[in-house]
Structures are given as structure tokens and as C-alpha cells.
Amino acid sequence: MSDRFPMPMPFGWFCVGYSDELAVGEVRNIHYFDRDMVLFRTESGKVGLSSPVCPHLGAHLGHGGTVQGESIRCPFHHWQYATNGVITDIPYASRIPPKWEGKPCLETYPVRELNEVIWAWYHPEGAAPDHEVLELDEMSDPEWSERQRFEWTFGSCPQEIAENGVDVAHFKYVHGMEAVPEGETNYDGHIRRSRVSGTRMIKDEAGNEHELEST
């Protein structure tokens, strides 16, 4: 939190990467939720998300760590951990220490891969997910057009973004929309579904304007 954004980070699922940007065997350092993390993809394609700190002697898994099969390997003593944080190999030991055998040792975070996006679960108290990511059928439907990605960086927080979406009065004055779109919104627990209809002007790749009617 900051003086400008005193609101806390809401818990839920957040995008921490796109599926096609994380290759098999890749280990990547990321920073979300005011913490450093390591994102990696095993040889079978499964995604793992963990603390960068090896619980053995504190080496950084994101600097020299590698994927070995279904585990991430520490660069210091080559201890290996599965995506659930369980030790899978200590190369110079005859067995896993009884204290940690079959138990999570490396701190990991819930992660899902759906809709071509890698999602990480955040909760300030470390609580387990209380809902799942919704799978969108349109993402795998060939009848839909190819998806495009755009990225913006701006100073705000999730609460302000949500408030902006329901403040339809500013659409005309800030965004130059001649007509405020109409629609309906339904709530089902944590899920909000909105359908917006109306006329808007769009530009094609050549810069020509077209009137689009959405229903």
C-alpha cells in the first residue's frame, strides 16, 4: 500500500504471465503482490510458482536454477523440488530427511493455466483458493477471431478500476462517447456478468471509422 493507494490488494486469481511466453524448461523471476517469486514450466508442461529462496541454505532459485524433469533444481547443492514444494532429490544423500519426506518444504503458490493465461492465487493471509478460474469456451473456439494483446502501465489499484467501470456518467466527457451504452449486470457469488449494448465508433487498421452496433 501507499499514500496514493491506501486500499489493500484484494484476494483472488491474477494473471502473472501468458502461456506462450513460458517455454518448457524455462525458469523466470517475477514480482507480484509485493514479493519475488519464481515461475517455471516442467518438462511435461506443468507450471510451477514458488518462493525464490531455497529452504536448504537460502540460494536464489531464479538465478541459476534449472528444471529437471518435473522439478526445479537449486543451483547451490542441486536439491530438487516438485511444483508442490516437496523435495524430490538430494544428489549426495541416500534418502530425504524424515522431517521433510513427502511434505512441502519449498514455499509454493496455487497456480492455474486456463484461457492461455497463467493465473496465480493471492490471499494476504495465505488462505487456500475458495473459487476457481472460469474457463472461457471462446478461447478454444476456432470460430472466434485471433486474439490481440495490449498492455498499459498506469498508477492505480483494482478498486479504482472497478469503480471506473460502473461510473457510466464519465463516458461521454472523458471518452467522447456520444451515447452511454446500456446493459444489464448479474451477480453470482464472486462472479459478475455484464452485457453491454449500444452504438460506438471504431477504427480499422487504415484509420477509417465505422459504426458498430453491439447487442
DSSP bridge partners of 31: 36
| Closest to 120 (Cα-Cα) out of 23, 16, 27 | 16
pLDDT digits (tens, 9 = 90+) for 178-206: 777 777 888 888 888 888 777 777 788 88
- Look at residue 160 and tell me if it is in a domain: no
Do 30 and 39 form a contact (C-beta atoms < 8 A)? yes
Q: Name the residue range of residue 170's domain.
A: 165-214
Give per-residue pLDDT as tens, 108-158: 999 999 999 999 999 999 999 999 999 999 888 888 888 888 888 888 888
Instruction: Report the distance separating Cα 194 and Cα 192, nearest Å.
Output: 7
Same domain, 53 and 127: yes
Domain membership flag for residue 109? yes
CATH number at 56 reads 2.102.10.10
What is d(CA 12, CA 132) in angstroms, rounded to the nearest whole number? 9
Average pLDDT of the chain to the nearest whole number:
91
Is residue 192 a part of any domain in this protein?
A: yes
With b meaning 16 or more CB within 10 Å and e meaning fewer, what string describes 31-68?
ebbeeebbbbbbeeeebbbbbbbbbbeebbbbeebbbe
Per 3-state DSSP, the chain is made up of helix, strand and coil in percentages (nearest 5) of: 10, 35, 55
Residue 40: inside a domain, yes or no? yes
Highest mean pLDDT range out of 91-105, 132-146, 149-163, 164-178? Answer: 91-105
124 class by beta-carbon count within 10 Å (0-12 exposed, 13-18 middle, 19+ buried): exposed
pLDDT of residue 1: 54
Q: Give this prediction's pTM.
A: 0.85
Specify the amino acid at residue 215. T
User: Residue 182 and residue 196: Cα distance in Å, rounded?
Assistant: 6
**Final residue of a structural domain among 88, 108, 131:** 131
Strand, coil or helix: what is 165? helix
